[in-house]
């Protein structure tokens, strides 16, 4: 039962040293809120500049300008809900359009060539070269790429409708799992749930380092307390902190519009619990490097960033390939247990897979936890227990 | 003190204890016995090997060679784990949990030694009373003064009622009020427990020890009761003279003259320590000898023999040098 008294002591210390506790509990919920602000409140719009250089022609004694018709068609399409994010802006000349692109007020410019109507309506026209519509913009910009694809699609539709040509093939999109029902914000939430657990690396490392820093480890060492009891007592409170942080994260996410799928709550808790054990083991490695809580705040930032940004917790990421074995490809970031945790959550919460399919992920987390523990205990003993 | 007590049993025995730190020999073949219920003082200057010795006694440090026996059992063979409840240690540094109250950490440490909850709680209150911290029972350690922390540090060592308690420089950094409290506490504790303490304070060692081990450079120089140690360098008064020498005066002639006149002379840097029976009437003669050799006395102090004199006699140096 000595572990229980270490646990009670740690609770008191955590509550009384509340800054680290508050930081650990609130950072992931804060991230959820930030992502919501970044992704959901920013309504995505694409500004398309249209420059009509089409001269038009007379067709059955009537003046016709298909460039004007195309512009009208595109503007009409933008009233449709599917293309409502498109804003069209007609400019008189190419230079005016480029100026808008350079100022960031437009994402793409579509230049309709001078003889488009003539060539389309008069098949016997002497110039038989194809009609070239020009797309202008910053090709490295994702906004340009999406706006360009939309522009091409609308122009193709216009051509098909005005010429009466029907496409021999059609497209049908089937969404994988719940990906079609999820908003962009919701796609980030599983990763941030694991981020809530990763954040405990600060409080766990600080809880462990606090003892050698104050030399109280020396008192504990000469008592009947064993290393296992000490670590159990300290770890238990850290697991509780991680779960509390996770629950807060889920609450904030749900409040921001995240849909928690029925039957997945306990699965999320299980993954978080396993990951928290792993992070406690990882914290031992951090604690072995640090001599004081100040060191944890400085040195601990480095592994925290690695875990945040290279596991898919903060941003979706795929690490460089290491090797393949039994049909499974292993990546560099697979040595970080949160990578597997994020993968497990994404499988069930986004891709709609059965929980059984996450067993390899769970096994990987457990194996890595054991590896971290072995390294952590060895390093901690070497650094702090010998000196005590 | 407790000299009347009859110490028959040996609480702790050290045999040929040696400890090296790299090439530095910190403890050199230390052999001694501590009897049950006695107050045993380790007297020596800083760096003498006192703390290293007691850390080995408590099992906190592995000796390079030699044995430590508690109640006749070697701790190196049985491991310190079997002796943890028998030994309590009060380290020189204040080692406390800043975010726990005085009461909480006493009870917590009690639980770490498997003391039942009620016993630990009662004992925590008793100890806080004894050391004058009752009013601070529910205060966080971080809010206590330095002296209060030191007092709490002292009682933390005996929360589990050990057979042997080791105090490393228990009076270091204490204000006068706390010093008296700690001294009384140690005296009250002796008899029920075997008390071992280290100090470089001769007065502290003299006042509270039943026996004193004088160590220097890791070596045991002398071990006896304070009275016997003082007797060992002869009875009489001590005259300390601050010496000022102007010019290139050979001091050897004055030294020889004093010795010829039957004075015992010890020298430390700029002090001459002269010892003799019934010294007061002889002071004018001493002054005359010094003046005749051109030596001026800047200050003078007369007192009885102390353990410091014993140390100077043994090493030729002061304890605080």
pLDDT number for residue B3: 41
Rounded CA separation B217/A195 (Å): 56
Same fold, B10-231 and B236-304: no
Q: How far is A236 from chain B (nearest CA, A)?
A: 17
Rounded distance, CA B268 to CA B291, Å? 20
pLDDT at residue A145 in the model: 94
pLDDT band at residue B247 using 50, 70 and 90 as cut-offs:
low
- Contact between A218 and B108 using a beta-carbon 8 Å cutoff: no
For residues A175 and A8, the answer to whether their CB atoms sit within 8 Å is no
Mean pLDDT of chain B: 84
DSSP class per residue in B106-156: HHHHHHHTT--HHHHHHHHHHHHHHTT-GGGTTSBGGGS-HHHHHHHHHHH
Within 8 A by CB and 6+ apart from A378, the residues are none
Q: Which residue of B has its CA nearest to A216?
A: B95
Token pair 């928690």 in the structure block, residue = A260
Q: Does pLDDT of A164 surpass 70? A: yes
Task: Please name the member of B108, B114, B140 whose beta carbon is closest to the beta carbon of A224.
Answer: B114
Are B156 and A219 within 8 A, CB to CB?
A: yes
Residue A386 has what pLDDT?
A: 62
Residue B186 CB coordination number (10 Å) = 23
* pLDDT beyond 90 at A91: yes
Q: pLDDT tens digit string along A9-29?
A: 999 998 998 888 898 899 889
**Phi, psi dihedral angles at B198 (to 5 degrees):** -105, 150
Would the CB atoms of B97 and A221 count as touching at under 8 Å? no
* A contacts of B97 (beta carbons < 8 Å): 9, 13, 214, 216
pLDDT of residue A105 exceeding 90, the answer is yes
Residue A205 near residue A251 (C-beta atoms within 8 A): no
Q: What is the pLDDT of residue A291?
A: 87
CA dist B72 and B125 (Å) reads 34
Residues of A in contact with B89 (CB under 8 A): 222
Inter-chain contact B60–A218, Cβ cutoff 8 Å? yes
Is the pLDDT at B145 greater than 80, yes or no?
A: yes
* A338-367 mean pLDDT: 93
B6 vs B17, which has greater pLDDT?
Answer: B17
Q: Which residues of A touch B80 (CB under 8 A)?
A: 222
Taking residues A345-374, report their average pLDDT: 93
Angstrom distance (rounded) from CA A170 to CA B88: 85
Decide if pLDDT at B2 tops 50. no
On average, the pLDDT of chain A sits at: 88
Distance between A232 CA and the closest CA of chain B, angstroms? 14
Q: Is the pLDDT of residue B169 over 80?
A: yes
What confidence tens digit (pLDDT) does each residue in B279-306 have?
778 888 888 888 888 888 888 887 777 7
Selected residue of B84, B111, B120, B165 to mutate for chain A interface (largest A Cβ count, 10 A): B111
Higher pLDDT, A6 or B293: A6
Q: How far is CA B241 from CA A237, A375, B238, B249, B292, in A?
A: 65, 63, 10, 17, 16
User: Got the DSSP string for A126-187?
Assistant: S--SPP--EEES-TT-HHHHHHHHHHHHHHHHHHHHHHT---S--------TTTTTS-HHHH
**Consecutive H or E run containing B306:** none
Alpha-carbon distances, residue A138 vs A134, A135, A353, B305 (angstroms) = 13, 10, 39, 95
Q: CA of B81: which chain A residue's CA is closest?
A: A224
Reported as a pLDDT band with limits 50, 70 and 90, residue B7 is very low
H helices present in chain B, as ranges: 50-57, 75-78, 102-112, 117-130, 146-156, 176-189, 202-208, 226-232, 252-260, 283-292, 307-315
Residue A208 in this model has a pLDDT that exceeds 60: yes
Q: Which of the listed CATH numbers 2.60.120.10, 3.30.210.10, 3.40.50.300, 3.40.1710.10 matches domain A46-163?
A: 3.40.1710.10
CA–CA gap between residue A85 and residue A88 (Å, rounded): 10
How close does chain B come to A179, measured CA to CA in Å?
A: 48
pLDDT band of residue B249 (cuts 50, 70, 90) is: low
Chain region(s) in chain A for CATH 3.40.1710.10: 46-163
Q: How confident is the model at residue B147 (pLDDT cuts 50, 70, 90)?
A: confident
The alpha-carbon gap from B209 to the nearest alpha carbon of chain A, in Å, equals: 25
d(CA A344, CA A329): 16
Tens digits of residue pLDDT in A354-364: 999 999 999 99
How many CB pairs below 8 Å do chains A and B form together? 59
- B97 interface with A at CB cutoff 8 Å: yes
Our CA-based measurement puts residue A18 at a distance from the nearest CA of chain B, in whole angstroms, of 11
Q: Which residue has the tokens 């599917």?
A: A82
Q: How confident is the model at residue A41 (pLDDT cuts 50, 70, 90)?
A: low
**Chain A contact for B89 (CB, 8 A cutoff):** yes
Distance CA A346, CA A178 (A): 10
Determine the Cα angle at A286 with ends A285 and A291, to 5°. Answer: 115
Half-sphere exposure of residue A304, counting CA atoms within 13 Å on the CB side?
20
Mean pLDDT calculated for residue range B111-132: 94
Give the per-residue pLDDT at B199.
84
B-interface mutation test, from A1, A2, A4, A9, most B Cβ less than 10 A away: A9
Take residue A349 and report the two structure tokens written for it: 């919460």
Residue of A nearest to B140 (CA): A16
Lowest mean pLDDT among A142-146, A364-368, B60-64, B216-220: B60-64
Q: Is the dihedral of CA A354, A357, A359, A364 positive or negative?
A: negative
Q: Do A224 and B140 touch (CB under 8 A)?
A: no
What is the Cα–Cα distance from A142 to A108, expressed in whole angstroms? 11
Nearest residue to B139 via CA among B87, B194, B102, B99: B102
Note whether B98 contacts A: Cβ–Cβ < 8 A.
yes
CA–CA distance, B206 with B43 (Å, rounded to integer):
10
Would you state the pLDDT for residue A47?
Answer: 94
Q: Where are the domains of chain B?
A: 10-231, 236-304
CB A274 within 8 A of CB A243: no
Q: In a 3-state reduction of DSSP, which class is residue B70?
A: strand
What would the pLDDT profile of A278-326 be if each residue is shown by its tens digit? 999 999 999 999 988 889 888 888 998 889 888 888 877 766 777 888 7
- Name residue B264's beta-bridge partners: B275
Interface touch A12/B99, C-beta < 8 Å: yes
Q: What residue spans of B190-224 are helical by DSSP H?
A: 202-208
CA separation for the pair B137, B124 (Å, rounded): 9
Residue A43's pLDDT is 61
Q: What is the CATH number of domain B10-231?
A: 3.40.50.300
H helix intervals, A215-336: 216-221, 227-255, 265-289, 293-299, 301-309
Quote the pLDDT of residue B280: 78
Q: What is the mean pLDDT of residues B136-143?
A: 95
Q: What is the pLDDT of residues B52-107, one digit of tens each?
A: 998 888 877 888 999 888 888 887 655 556 667 788 988 888 999 999 999 999 99
Closest Cα in chain A to B101: A12
Q: What's the CATH fold of domain B236-304?
A: Alpha-Beta Plaits (3.30.70)
With beta carbons less than 8 A apart as the criterion, state whether B160 and B85 touch: yes
């Amino acid at each position: 039962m000595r572990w229980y008294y270490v646990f009670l002591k740690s609770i008191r210390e955590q509550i009384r040293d509340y800054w680290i506790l508050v930081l650990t509990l609130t950072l992931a919920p804060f991230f959820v809120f930030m992502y919501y602000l970044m992704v959901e409140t920013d309504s995505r719009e694409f500004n398309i500049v249209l420059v009509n250089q089409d001269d038009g022609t007379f067709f059955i004694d009537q003046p016709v300008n298909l460039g004007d018709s195309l512009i009208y068609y595109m503007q009409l399409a933008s009233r449709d809900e599917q293309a409502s994010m498109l804003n069209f802006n007609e400019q008189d000349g190419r230079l005016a359009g480029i100026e808008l692109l350079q100022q960031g007020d437009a994402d793409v410019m579509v230049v309709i060539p001078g003889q488009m109507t003539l060539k389309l309506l008069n098949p016997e026209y002497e110039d038989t070269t194809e009609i070239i519509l020009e797309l202008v913009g910053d090709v490295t910009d994702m906004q340009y790429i999406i706006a360009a694809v939309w522009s091409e699609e609308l122009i193709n539709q216009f051509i098909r409708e005005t010429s009466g040509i029907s496409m021999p093939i059609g497209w049908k999109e089937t969404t994988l799992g719940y990906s079609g029902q999820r908003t962009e914000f919701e796609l980030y939430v599983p990763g941030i749930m694991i981020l809530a657990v990763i954040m405990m690396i600060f409080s766990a490392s600080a809880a462990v380092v606090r003892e050698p820093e104050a030399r109280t480890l020396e008192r504990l060492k000469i008592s009947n307390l064993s290393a296992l009891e000490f670590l159990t007592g300290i770890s238990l409170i850290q697991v509780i902190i991680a779960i509390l942080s996770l629950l807060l994260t889920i609450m904030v996410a749900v409040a921001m519009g995240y849909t928690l799928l029925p039957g997945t709550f306990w699965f999320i808790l299980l993954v978080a619990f396993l990951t928290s054990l792993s992070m406690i083991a990882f914290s031992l490695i951090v604690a072995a490097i640090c001599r004081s809580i100040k060191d944890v705040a400085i040195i601990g930032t480095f592994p925290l960033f690695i875990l945040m940004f290279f596991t898919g917790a903060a941003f979706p990421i795929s690490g460089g390939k290491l090797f393949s074995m039994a049909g499974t490809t292993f990546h560099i970031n697979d040595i970080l247990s949160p990578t597997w945790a994020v993968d497990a959550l994404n499988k069930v919460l986004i891709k709609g897979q059965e929980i059984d399919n996450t067993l390899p992920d769970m096994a990987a987390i457990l194996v890595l936890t054991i590896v971290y523990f072995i390294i952590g205990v060895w390093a901690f003993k070497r650094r702090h227990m010998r000196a005590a | 003190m407790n000299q009347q007590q009859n110490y028959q049993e040996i609480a702790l025995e050290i045999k040929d204890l040696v400890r090296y730190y790299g090439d530095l020999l910190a403890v050199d073949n230390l052999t001694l016995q501590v009897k049950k219920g006695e107050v045993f003082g380790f007297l020596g200057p800083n760096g003498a090997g006192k703390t290293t010795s007691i850390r080995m006694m408590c099992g906190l440090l592995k000796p390079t060679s030699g044995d430590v026996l508690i109640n006749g059992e070697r701790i190196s063979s049985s491991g310190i784990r079997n002796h943890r409840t028998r030994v309590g240690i009060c380290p020189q540094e204040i080692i406390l949990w800043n975010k726990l109250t005085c009461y909480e950490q006493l009870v917590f440490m009690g639980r770490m030694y498997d003391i039942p909850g009620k016993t630990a709680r009662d004992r925590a209150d008793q100890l806080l009373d004894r050391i004058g911290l009752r009013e601070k029972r529910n205060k966080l350690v971080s809010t206590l003064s330095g002296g209060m922390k030191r007092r709490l540090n002292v009682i933390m060592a005996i929360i589990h009622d050990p057979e042997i308690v080791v105090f490393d420089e228990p009076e270091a950094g204490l204000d006068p009020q706390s010093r008296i409290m700690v001294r009384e506490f140690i005296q009250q504790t002796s008899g029920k427990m075997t008390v071992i303490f280290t100090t470089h304070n001769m007065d502290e060692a003299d006042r509270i020890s039943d026996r004193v081990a004088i160590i220097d450079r890791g070596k045991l120089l002398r071990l006896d009761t304070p009275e016997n140690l003082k007797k060992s360098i002869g009875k009489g008064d001590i005259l300390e003279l601050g010496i000022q020498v102007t010019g290139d005066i050979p001091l050897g002639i004055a030294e020889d003259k004093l010795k010829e006149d039957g004075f015992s002379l010890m020298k430390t840097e700029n002090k001459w320590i002269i010892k003799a029976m019934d010294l007061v009437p002889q002071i004018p003669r001493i002054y005359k000898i010094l003046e005749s050799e051109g030596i001026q006395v800047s200050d003078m102090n007369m007192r009885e023999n102390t353990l410091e004199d014993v140390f100077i006699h043994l090493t030729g140096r002061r304890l605080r040098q």
